[in-house]
């Protein structure tokens, strides 16, 4: 048997090249996520239940990347997470939340809290606007059984559906209001603009947006049971891309799911994986994917290689898959093994169009889960989606689950860990993108495609790796 050599990020360095870049701001990090979707930052937050729900996805889109909502929710819960992202940054909210004037203040407060909004439009018959109810209207109200019509603001400043952002901004400033309902000539509600939407438009000029100006967001589905119905609901909620999520993407289960989704939803932008070989990428592309997710066993809390003995070192996997991707004009996503901005730069130089990150984003304010305190230090849970806890969590939601199930039936390929609390993910993203920009400049490249063309790798020894690390001697 002939043995190939597989390399990962720590085995190589990028050879520095002449650069005419005088500032990192001259570097463009725009890239392709999939066949028809582009993003402004080559980073994707992983579809893990301790990494990406709506809060993370909103932040990723605002910074120019994209988040993939994990699939370990009920269908409606996952749909709601997608809707929260879409509503978080649209210039015009097309279907604003409304409430009837006859409902109680208690109902209104509970509904607003559930939807994460600070106010509701009050709609009468045929969706006619009759008022608006804000947090200020409900503040200090002790009798929450009172009907909404008693507290709502009835004299509402409105605008037509075709108003532009600039004119809306001036109108809201003039009237000192935070919400501007849009109504047609008959008084029917046609949309809503909020001051936050206008501010976000100005504060995040590089945000990743869809054709309606809403944040881009993806959502993951499995390969069994409800994946077709789930895909239908997620696309209906506005998901821009669907990710077929399976540990072993070069399998009939994955290929069959891809074919079914593409047949049922031909215009769906579809990512699938994970694979680690050129043949795996080729088979997924033939099945109809619009991007290939690459990486088996390289994640920080993945133990697939330990449990199964299978995998390919990540740099080699990316290079092999990227060649097939280039031949078919299909982007490749590097998923796993990224611990630093240097690793991300190497993955991009090796041919990946973008990099999916998980562990670096876990433990942040935007990741799901509560902050726990132990010995005066703060932590959050981070776990692989093939860990025992995640597997039991999924199984517990399935019909027929019993607490008497034999734990030997579960073979974990991931672990769980307590990671230090890290604060806002924005700070991490700034460090990552800053490092990647510098990495491009060292390769003499202004863009990711230019770096991929110019990149030259050099293999290094263990001593070379040690030399690369900080080494201060007293």
Residue 247 in marked binding region: yes
Of the listed ranges 175-184, 192-201, 409-418, the least confidently predicted one is: 409-418
Statement: residue 396 has pLDDT above 50: no
Q: What pLDDT shows up at residue 413?
A: 53
Same domain, 350 and 464: yes
In-domain check, residue 411: yes
Of the listed ranges 139-148, 178-187, 404-413, the least confidently predicted one is: 404-413
Omega cis (within 30) before 179: no
Residue 335 in marked binding region: yes
Structural contact between residues 334 and 355, judged by C-beta atoms closer than 8 angstroms: yes
In-domain check, residue 109: yes
The whole-number average pLDDT for the span 184-207 is 90
**Cα–Cα distance for residue pair 398/405, rounded to 1 Å:** 12
Residue 342 in marked binding region: no
Number of domains making up the chain? 2
For residue 420, give the CATH number of its domain.
3.20.20.70
Residue 387: pLDDT band with limits 50, 70, 90: very low
Structural contact between residues 99 and 148, judged by C-beta atoms closer than 8 angstroms: yes
The β-bridge partners of 212 are none
Residue 133: pLDDT band with limits 50, 70, 90: very high
Confirm whether 302 is a catalytic residue: yes
Q: What pLDDT shows up at residue 388?
A: 43
Same domain, 295 and 385: yes
Among 194, 229, 256, identify where a domain stops: 194
Residue 382 in marked binding region: yes
pTM for the predicted model, two decimal places = 0.84
| Residues 227-273 pLDDT 10s | 999 999 999 999 999 999 998 999 999 999 999 999 999 999 999 98
The one catalytic residue in 268, 302, 321, 443 is 302
In-domain check, residue 333: yes
The whole-number average pLDDT for the span 98-122 is 92
Residue 178 in marked binding region: no
Residue 299 in marked binding region: yes
Statement: residue 91 has pLDDT above 90: no
Residue 295 in marked binding region: yes
In-domain check, residue 1: no
For residue 141, give the CATH number of its domain.
3.10.580.10
Residue 132 in marked binding region: no
Same domain, 190 and 339: no
The encoded tokens of residue 399 equal: 């019909």
Same domain, 251 and 123: no
Same domain, 77 and 167: no
386 vs 27, more confident: 27
The share of the chain scoring above pLDDT 90, in percent, equals 71
Same domain, 349 and 416: yes
In-domain check, residue 202: no
Same domain, 288 and 144: no
Q: What pLDDT shows up at residue 418?
A: 79
In-domain check, residue 322: yes
Same domain, 125 and 252: no
Among 194, 228, 256, identify where a domain stops: 194
Same domain, 49 and 116: no
Same domain, 334 and 255: yes
Statement: residue 383 has pLDDT above 80: no
| Residues 23-47 pLDDT 10s | 988 999 999 999 999 999 999 999 9
**Cα–Cα distance for residue pair 116/465, rounded to 1 Å:** 48
Same domain, 152 and 232: no
- Closest listed residue to residue 305, CA positions, set 391, 395, 245, 384: 384
Among 194, 227, 245, identify where a domain stops: 194
Q: What is the largest CA-CA distance in the chain?
A: 81
Question: Average model confidence (pLDDT) for the chain?
Answer: 90
Query: What 3-state DSSP class applies to 43?
Result: strand
Domain holding 103, by residue range, is 98-194
The whole-number average pLDDT for the span 61-75 is 96
In-domain check, residue 429: yes
Same domain, 446 and 332: yes
| Residues 210-219 pLDDT 10s | 998 899 999 9
Give me the count of residues in the chain: 474
In-domain check, residue 445: yes
Q: What pLDDT shows up at residue 300?
A: 66
């Amino acid at each position: 048997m002939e043995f190939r050599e597989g390399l990962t990020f720590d085995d190589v360095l990028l050879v520095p090249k002449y650069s005419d870049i005088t500032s990192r701001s001259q570097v463009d990090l725009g890239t392709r996520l999939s066949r028809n979707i582009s993003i402004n930052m080559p980073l994707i937050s992983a579809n893990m239940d301790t990494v990406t729900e709506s809060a993370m996805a909103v932040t990723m889109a605002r910074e120019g990347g994209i988040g993939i909502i994990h699939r370990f929710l009920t269908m409606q819960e996952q749909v709601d997470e997608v809707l929260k992202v879409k509503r978080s940054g649209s210039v015009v909210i097309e279907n604003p939340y409304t409430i009837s004037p006859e409902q109680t203040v208690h109902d209104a407060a509970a509904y607003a809290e559930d939807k994460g909004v600070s106010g509701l439009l009050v709609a009468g018959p045929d969706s006619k606007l009759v008022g608006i109810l804000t947090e200020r209207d409900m503040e200090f109200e002790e009798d929450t059984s009172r009907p909404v019509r008693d507290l709502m603001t009835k004299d509402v400043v409105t605008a037509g559906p075709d108003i532009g952002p600039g004119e809306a901004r001036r109108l809201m400033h003039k009237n000192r209001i935070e919400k501007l309902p849009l109504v047609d000539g008959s008084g029917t509600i046609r949309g809503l603009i909020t001051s936050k939407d206008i501010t976000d438009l100005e504060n995040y000029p590089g945000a990743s947006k869809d054709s309606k100006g809403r944040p881009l967001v993806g959502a993951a589905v499995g390969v069994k049971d409800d994946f077709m119905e789930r895909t239908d609901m997620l696309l209906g909620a506005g998901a821009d891309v669907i990710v077929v999520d399976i540990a072993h993407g070069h399998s009939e289960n994955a290929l069959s799911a891809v074919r079914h989704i593409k047949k049922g939803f031909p215009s769906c932008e579809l990512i699938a994986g994970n694979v680690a070989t050129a043949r795996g990428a080729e088979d997924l592309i033939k099945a109809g994917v619009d991007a290939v997710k690459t990486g088996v066993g390289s994640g920080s809390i993945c133990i697939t290689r330990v449990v199964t003995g299978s995998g390919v070192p990540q740099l080699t996997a990316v290079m092999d898959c990227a060649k097939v991707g280039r031949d078919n004009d299909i982007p490749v996503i590097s998923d796993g093994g990224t611990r630093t901005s240097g690793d991300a730069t190497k993955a991009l130089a090796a041919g990946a169009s973008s990099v999916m990150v998980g562990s670096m984003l876990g433990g942040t304010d935007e990741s799901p889960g509560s902050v726990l305190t132990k010995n005066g230090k703060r932590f959050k849970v981070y776990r692989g989606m093939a860990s025992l806890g995640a597997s039991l969590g999924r199984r517990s939601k399935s019909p027929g689950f019993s607490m008497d199930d034999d734990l030997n039936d579960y073979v974990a390929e991931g672990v769980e860990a307590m990671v230090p609390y890290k604060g806002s993910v924005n700070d991490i993203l700034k460090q990552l993108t800053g490092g990647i920009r510098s990495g491009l400049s060292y390769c003499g490249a202004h863009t990711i495609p230019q770096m991929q063309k110019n990149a030259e790798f050099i293999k290094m020894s263990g001593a070379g790796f040690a030399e690369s690390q900080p080494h201060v001697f007293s």
